Structure 1
Amino acid sequence: MEGLSAEVIPVLQQLMPGFLAMIVFYWFAEIPKPAYFEKILQALITTAVIQVFVAGTERLCYLIGDFYSFGQWDEASTSWTSIVFAIVTGLVLAYLCNNDIAFSLARKLSLTTRASQGDAIHIYKQMAAHAVIIHFNDGRRMMGYIDAFPNDRQTGAYLISSPHWIEDEVAIPSTQTHSYMILGTDVQRVEFLN
């Protein structure tokens, strides 16, 4: 058992930056989580990219070291640089995903028609400035602005601010209410207004 751990621990330490980057990414990204195998593949690829960045940083530090020395580059320097690059990589990937930057560019180049998030989330983000009418399953309607929308309609909720109930085509303000939280399962459809 000791022999096995002596072989496995160095491999895990080498792969840890990619796994850390993917943990940070999935904490902050508003996307469905893939299967475990896909996560492992993403972590392995990310580890390889981070190792390239770390090697480049080490080389750059040696070049700078010819003029000014910050100290000796050692295994601890490599580990800390890997951790920093892993966290930054995860945050950058989450930012790109949440703001639809990479897929937006790919759509402009006609490489895809997809968005980085699910269809509903992408549409809500594009239409966030518009007032909406929420049509409930029981026939009631509410007008307002979507402040938050569910990632999953089955388990999530809408947060509607400036709520007005619509009765007989008349908008009646909920003057004492700032917002309503509405379960996604209670909503039949969402109508975006001009």
Structure 2
Amino acid sequence: MCGCPFLTLITSILIAIIFGILFSYFANTNKIHKYLRDKNITRETSYSSEWSGSFLDNVTFVVLHFDDERRLYGWPIEWPSDPEQGHFFIADPAWIHENGKEERIPGVKSILVDTKGIKWVEFLENTWEKEDE
């Protein structure tokens, strides 16, 4: 090249950083797999599991249904990558009673919930967008 090893090193590092960021972006946003699905080349996603894809594709409030029939409503800040282990970090939590009424938990801003004991997760409609119109 130009005989300047320092310039070559800096250029290589910058190219590696740019490619790393690009590949990370495409791997974590499912864009390449979405394009390939649209062309009927694959049916796969770039997500590690259906579990991860469901949370990333459904940015909304959730209801956690417990094995003992309790239900917890809130905004998922974080969720486990594996449905068998880990914790949900839920903001603005509220218990939902059998009659459908919500009961906010006084003084609680967020709550950490173990996945053990969770039967399923319900993703709610984006009703706040309709109210803003």
TM-score normalised to structure 2 length: 0.80
In structure 2, distance between residues paired with 1:110 and 1:146: 32
**Aligned twin of 1:121:** 52
Matches of 1:116 and 1:156 in 2, distance apart?
Answer: 21
Q: How does 1:18-37 map onto structure 2 within 5 Å?
A: none
Counterpart pick for 1:178 among 76, 90, 109? 109
Q: Which has the higher contact order (CA 8 A, sep 6+)?
A: 2
Distance 1:73 1:105, change over 3 A: farther
Q: Distance in 1 between matches of 2:86 and 2:15?
A: 33
User: Secondary structure at the residue paired with 1:185?
Assistant: coil
**2:81 maps to 1:151:** yes
- The separation in 2 between residues aligned to 1:139 and 1:80, in whole angstroms, is 59
Higher strand proportion: 2
- Shift of residue 142 of structure 1? 0.5
Of residues 34, 45, 65 in structure 2, which corresponds to 1:104?
34
CA shift, 1:77, in A, is 2.5
What is the DSSP-based 3-state SS (H/G/I as helix, E as strand, rest coil) of the residue aligned with 1:121? Answer: helix
| Higher alpha-carbon Rg | 1
How far apart, CA to CA, are the structure 1 residues paired with 2:106 and 2:14? 49
Percent identity over the alignment? Answer: 25
**Mapping of residues 37-186 of structure 1, within 5 Å:** 72-117=2-47, 118-129=49-60, 131-169=61-99, 170-186=101-117
Paired position in structure 2 for 1:34: none
Name the SS for the 2:43 alignment partner.
coil
Q: Work out whether residues 51 and 82 of structure 2, in 8 Å CA contact, stay in contact via their aligned partners in 1.
A: no
TM, length-normalised to structure 1: 0.57
- In angstroms, what is the RMSD of aligned CA positions? 1.9
C-alpha contact 2:51 2:83 (8 A) present in aligned 1: no
How many residues of Structure 1 are paired with residues of Structure 2 in the alignment? 123
